[in-house]
Structure 1
């Protein structure tokens, strides 16, 4: 149950921060009835209890009119008076002390420009503040604190403001129309100036061409240089592969080996000489 309540409070706080620009630390404006409720139910310290309810740091405020009202209530609200003196006093421009609800309504104003959370037990005051856009309300129930969801008026106000932001106002429409007309006029003048510049450029180009043609005719020169055509050349010999010989290397090696063998054979054949003594020739007498 506590987790659901905390999620609901976070959703409400997110609504007011997104739609009305509330920022941390949140400012809580407390009246005498709320301070008295905190003392009676022993919800202390008050800043920690409220920061737990809003899931963010808070700063507590009250007014001089609220303090004066607690003084008039007497001894029964003496503890509440002491606690109220410890809170930050919000400025209210009242020469005479008014009632607490009137003082709070004056401080909140029409749009709650100070972004106050209002903590009160006064039912009538809460009913009035529901008709003011951007005023989140806090109240106590026994020993628990609750944050009221946005009222139907506040939701309708947010919806209407969003629709208004999505459409242009009359002043914005007039400004946009004026800017568009000025833009069209500047574009028109720019285009006319560009056309004049183009015509001037074309005229100058034609003049320069005529002058060049006259000078070339007077000198007997041709308009364009005559370039020689490149003839096809043979292939680069360095980039070509060498031709392979048609003779078979194996046959050549065989011939060489055969010739080598014949030479060896011829060398090996030597004439043998006899080592015997020669016989003397006999002469017949």
Structure 2
């Protein structure tokens, strides 16, 4: 169960969010991402509206993180992770070997980098 696993990874309650851009991209990608789309439509996910036009989902997420820095980005996309790592203080959640992991969490709360 994705919702419970996210909270277990964070050791805290969270509100999973998805942007209109990500939703539209999942719908365009078709059957290969059918499971991801079904998860994204879970009513526990808050839908974040996008006011721009023509952005890729990655660019939308990157801009949102740069502006607000209050999000944890959950992705397994290597290119998106590389871009998000350039934004100071934004943690990244991902799945590796069927386990949820998070990187940069202490940094997000002002802890010094090792």
Work out whether the TM-score is over 0.5. yes
Aligned residues: 109
**RCO higher in structure (CA 8 A, sep ≥6):** 2
Preserved CA contact (<8 Å) 1:53 1:145: yes
Contact 2:90 2:104 in 1 (8 A): no
CA offset at residue 106 of structure 1?
A: 1.4
Give the alignment's TM-score, normalised by structure 1. 0.35
Structure 1 runs of 4+ with >2 Å offset: none
More strand by share: 2
Counterparts of 1:4-153 in structure 2 under 5 Å?
A: 44=1, 46-86=2-42, 87-96=45-54, 98-110=55-67, 112=69, 115-149=70-104
Structure 2 segments unaligned to the other structure (5+ residues)? none
In 2 relative to 1, CA 109–67 (structure 1 residues): closer, same or farther, beyond 3 Å? same
d(CA) in 1 for partners of 2:19, 2:100:
21
1-side partners of 2:32 and 2:87: how far apart? 32
Q: Going by fraction, where is helix more abundant, 1 or 2? A: 1
Q: State the alpha-carbon separation in 1 of the partners of residues 105 and 85 from structure 2.
A: 8
Alpha-carbon distance in structure 1 between the residues aligned to 2:105 and 2:35: 32
Calculate the TM-score normalised by the size of structure 2. 0.81
Q: Which has the larger radius of gyration?
A: 1
Superposition pairs of residues 160-175 of structure 1, within 5 angstroms: none
- Between the aligned partners of 1:144 and 1:123, the Cα distance in structure 2 is 17
Q: 2: distance between equivalents of 1:121 and 1:134?
A: 18
Gaps of 5+ in 1: 1-43, 160-285
1:32-86 deviations in Å (ceiling 9; x for gaps): xxxxxxxxxxxx1x11101111111111001111111111111222232122122
**Does structure 2 retain, via aligned residues, the 8 Å contact 1:63–1:91?**
yes
* Conservation of the 8 A alpha-carbon contact between 1:117 and 1:135: yes
Whole-angstrom CA distance in 1 between matches of 2:80 and 2:16: 19
- Does structure 2 retain, via aligned residues, the 8 Å contact 1:92–1:107? no
Q: Kindly provide the CA deviation profile for residues 210-257 of structure 1, in whole angstroms up to 9, marking residues without a partner as x.
A: xxxxxxxxxxxxxxxxxxxxxxxxxxxxxxxxxxxxxxxxxxxxxxxx
Question: Which digits, 9 at most, give the CA deviation of each residue in 1:108-152, with x for residues without a partner?
Answer: 12551xx1111111112112212212201111112101111369x
